[in-house]
């Protein structure tokens, strides 16, 4: 295989802007009005910050932060105040874009190409771990705030992240290369580790639990309290067995039952 044919699973692009740039104010407006992306004709002016990356802002998830998966109105107001304070105090704004190769996400159980759905919650958690690593290495963990959004407007799912200091502690925007390497490594390792864990869970369900069910048509299980729960889940699984993956959204209604069953099974065996 030629080196040029190798497609990376994760790419990190980064830059920074100063408070006097128009893109800074555009993002402040975007923080407060991200839901306006649903309004016709209100898109372009709200997304100037990412005009180099975005063609269709309608295919964008809601803002999320360290504390929240989806900001409510009050949280957006508070976030906007922090970004306004950062701009007023001449903070740097760091802009990071984490881009994924979709087939790689699918291999690791985070994306379903058939339904075009992604496990947003897991990507949010992975982003948080990456940002935690960056802030710690740059000594910004006590002073910085960030917000992010998952975007779907290109061929590859990607996450935009904006970071500022309401009370700036530094004037230089450049971050250490080792910091950026650590950010990317954290994303990759979180996904790969999760992929290994997910495979173990899938094997447990498919080979041990479902496999034993097929071998024992009488369902004479040693642990009778598991049987009704197992049947409830088994009878509600999608017909397409390719969707028998815990991360698929088609299984979302059954996840609480799967969690209980997995816990009981692991405790017993």
Which two three-digit tokens encode residue 72? 């409510």
Across 5-14, 66-75, 213-222, 251-260, least confident range: 213-222
| pLDDT tens digits for range 190-244 | 888 765 566 666 666 666 666 665 555 444 555 677 888 888 888 888 888 777 8
- Asked whether the predicted pLDDT for residue 269 surpasses 80, the reply is no
How far is residue 153's CA from residue 156's CA, in Å, rounded to a whole number? 8
Lowest mean pLDDT among 86-90, 98-102, 142-146, 253-257: 253-257
Residue 173 confidence (pLDDT): 92
User: Average pLDDT, stretch 21-40?
Assistant: 64
Model confidence at 187: pLDDT above 90: yes
Question: Higher confidence at residue 113 or residue 154?
Answer: 113
Within 10 A of 164 (CB to CB), how many other CB atoms are there?
A: 26
More confident residue, 98 or 4: 98
pLDDT over 90 at 20, yes or no: no
Mean of all residue pLDDT scores within the chain: 78
For 45-97, the pLDDT digits (tens) are 333 333 333 333 444 567 889 998 888 888 888 888 898 899 999 999 999 99
So where are the chain's domains?
3-192, 216-268
Structural domain 3-192, CATH architecture: 2-Layer Sandwich (3.30)
N-to-C CA span, the chain:
44
CA pair distance 101, 11, nearest whole angstrom: 8
Give the CA dihedral 49, 51, 56, 62, nearest 10 degrees: -20
In this structure, the strands spanning 111-112 and 117-118 are antiparallel
Q: What pLDDT does residue 72 have?
A: 83
Position 143 scores a pLDDT of 94
């Amino acid at each position: 295989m030629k080196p040029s044919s190798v497609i990376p699973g994760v790419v990190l692009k980064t830059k920074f802007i100063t408070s006097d740039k128009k893109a800074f104010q555009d993002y402040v407006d975007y923080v407060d009005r991200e839901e306006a992306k649903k309004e016709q004709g209100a898109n372009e002016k709200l997304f100037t910050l990412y005009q180099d990356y975005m063609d269709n802002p309608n295919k964008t998830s809601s803002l999320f932060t360290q504390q929240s998966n989806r900001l409510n109105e009050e949280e957006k107001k508070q976030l906007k105040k922090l970004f306004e304070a950062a701009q007023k105090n001449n903070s740097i704004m760091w802009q990071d874009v984490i881009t994924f190769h979709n087939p790689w996400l699918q291999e690791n159980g985070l994306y379903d190409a058939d339904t075009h759905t992604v496990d947003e919650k897991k990507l949010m958690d992975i982003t948080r771990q990456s940002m935690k690593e960056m802030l710690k290495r740059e000594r910004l963990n006590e002073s910085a705030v960030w917000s992010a959004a998952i975007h779907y407007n290109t061929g590859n799912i990607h996450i935009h992240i904006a970071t500022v200091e309401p009370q700036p502690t530094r004037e230089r925007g450049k971050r250490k290369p080792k910091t950026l390497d650590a950010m990317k490594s954290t994303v990759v390792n979180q996904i790969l580790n999760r992929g290994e864990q997910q495979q173990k869970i899938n094997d447990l369900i498919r080979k041990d639990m479902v496999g034993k069910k097929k071998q024992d048509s009488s369902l004479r299980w040693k642990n009778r309290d598991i049987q009704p729960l197992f049947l409830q889940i088994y009878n509600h699984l999608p017909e397409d067995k390719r969707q028998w993956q815990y991360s698929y959204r088609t299984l979302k209604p059954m996840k609480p039952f799967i969690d209980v069953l997995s816990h009981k099974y692991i405790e017993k065996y």
